Amino acid sequence: MMEQVMRNFFLYMGKNRVATKVAKRYGMRFGASRFVAGASLDSSVHAIKKLNQKGLSVTIDHLGEFVDNAAEADEMTKHCIEAIERIAKENLDSQLSLKLTSMGLDIDYDMTVKNMRRILKSADQHDVFVTIDMEDFERCDKTIEIFTELKKEFENIGTVLQAYLYRVADDVANLNDLSPNLRLVKGAYKESPKVAFPDKKDVDENFKKIIRMHLLNGNYTAIATHDDQIIEYTKELVKEYNIPRSQFEFQMLYGICVDRQEALLKDGYKMRVYVPYGKDWYGYFMRRLAERPANVAFVLKGMMK
């Protein structure tokens, strides 16, 4: 019960615009640096190089939430292009992840698509793969619609589907004609039981279902999880159906289950680390605390120093 209360609290705080502005003002303190690779692109490049040296692949995400004007969306777009160019220039083993709200989704649909085309043209030029992160249920339809439109024009694009949504198996089936590269996750937003499974057991079973669907459809699959049960299920599934390791990868978050990341790499699996950076770190940080309330202990230690 207490864990659920804490989860709800952190999810609420993660969507609080006032708290987000305060966090921006005071910077990364009290443990956020464990999960966020600094505020600048330079800091993220440093983190990528260290991970690449270990043999770990990366996807970086310039954090940005609550973008509410065209000028800010344009700046976020330019920053994504700068990150793509930097990845290519430094020959980094890294992809790019982004949120459509950062590109202006809550402002204007057509502007968002235009900004995405600018990013994807640069990504094509520099051979950098781009993943559109999934956000909350309210934005799910628009995200899939934009992904579908852009996938018909660009090959170097994927998106994310969330196992806790009732609709997700239909989304996997409906997207199959595109042979999409999908990142499959449990889901980290607070959603109504009208649209999402409230119980972890049901989420886990649905997660296994869509992993199986997408892999057996022959599509590239990124299994983004820290759950040992899901990891072992995937290993057994690919072994049973002789699915090549070139068709899937595991993904985990920067700063979480580091030993597990390196163990999977040692066992010969492709392992990609999601590395967020930027001044707009607060919402992301709150969702990490909501996912794993045990992380609060780490934060409290930081506050005592």
Calpha distance 61→95 (Å, rounded): 9
183 catalytically annotated:
yes
Taking residues 134-158, report their average pLDDT: 97
Given pLDDT bands bounded at 50, 70 and 90, which one contains residue 113?
very high
* Chain center to CA of 102: 14
Q: What is the pLDDT of residue 289?
A: 66
Q: What is the pLDDT of residue 8?
A: 55
DSSP per-residue letters across 110-129: HHHHHHHHHHHHHHHHHT--
Q: What is the pLDDT of residue 28?
A: 55
Taking residues 226-242, report their average pLDDT: 97
Q: What is the pTM of this model?
A: 0.87
**30-79 tens-digit pLDDT:** 556 678 898 899 999 999 999 999 999 999 999 876 688 999 999 999 99
Q: Residue 31, Cβ neighbours under 10 Å: how many?
A: 22
pLDDT over 50 (residue 178): yes
Four-way CATH pick for 37-280: 3.40.1790.10, 3.20.20.220, 3.40.710.10, 3.30.70.1380: 3.20.20.220
Taking residues 17-40, report their average pLDDT: 64
Calpha distance 272→244 (Å, rounded): 17
Q: What is the pLDDT of residue 169?
A: 98
Q: What is the mean pLDDT of the chain?
A: 88
Q: What is the pLDDT of residue 13?
A: 47
Residue found under tokens 């992809």: 95
Taking residues 14-41, report their average pLDDT: 64
Q: What is the pLDDT of residue 36?
A: 86
Q: Tell me the three-class secondary structure of 194-251, residue by residue.
A: CCECCCHHHHHHHHHHHHHHHHHCCCCEEEECCCHHHHHHHHHHHHHCCCCHHHEEEE
pLDDT over 90 (residue 9): no
User: Of 21-25, 66-70, 133-137, which range is least confident?
Assistant: 21-25
Residue with more model confidence, 248 or 35: 248
Q: What is the pLDDT of residue 122?
A: 98
Q: Is 281 helix (H, G, I), strand (E, B) or coil?
A: coil
Phi, psi of 186 (to 5 degrees): -75, -45
By C-alpha distance, which of 254, 251, 204 is closest to 229?
204
Copy the structure tokens of residue 28: 């990364």
Calpha distance 103→92 (Å, rounded): 24
Calpha distance 207→212 (Å, rounded): 9
Copy the structure tokens of residue 41: 């692109």
**100-111 tens-digit pLDDT:** 999 999 999 999
Copy the structure tokens of residue 259: 């030993």
Calpha distance 63→99 (Å, rounded): 8
Q: What is the pLDDT of residue 293?
A: 54
Which of the following is catalytic: 133, 171, 204, 280? 133
Q: What is the pLDDT of residue 16?
A: 53
Calpha distance 136→115 (Å, rounded): 21
Q: What is the pLDDT of residue 34?
A: 74
Taking residues 283-291, report their average pLDDT: 67
Q: Taking phi first (over 0 means left), then psi (-120 to 50 degrees means alpha), and beta for anything else, what does residue 65 get? A: beta
Under a CB-based contact definition with an 8 Å cutoff, are residues 112 and 100 in contact? yes
Q: Is 305 helix (H, G, I), strand (E, B) or coil?
A: coil
Report how many helices (DSSP H) and strands (DSSP E) the chain contains, helices first.
Answer: 12, 8
Which of the following is catalytic: 7, 183, 272, 288? 183
Q: What is the pLDDT of residue 233?
A: 98
User: Of 7-21, 155-169, 179-193, which range is least confident?
Assistant: 7-21
**179-200 tens-digit pLDDT:** 999 999 999 788 999 999 999 9
Under a CB-based contact definition with an 8 Å cutoff, are residues 191 and 164 in contact? yes
Strand ranges (E), the chain: 57-62, 94-98, 130-132, 157-162, 182-185, 221-224, 248-253, 271-277
Q: Residue 212, Cβ neighbours under 10 Å: how many?
A: 16
* Structural domain spans, the chain: 37-280
Q: What is the pLDDT of residue 197?
A: 96
Given pLDDT bands bounded at 50, 70 and 90, which one contains residue 2?
very low
Q: Is 162 helix (H, G, I), strand (E, B) or coil?
A: strand
pLDDT over 70 (residue 20): no
Taking residues 129-153, report their average pLDDT: 97
pLDDT over 90 (residue 225): yes
Q: Is 140 helix (H, G, I), strand (E, B) or coil?
A: helix
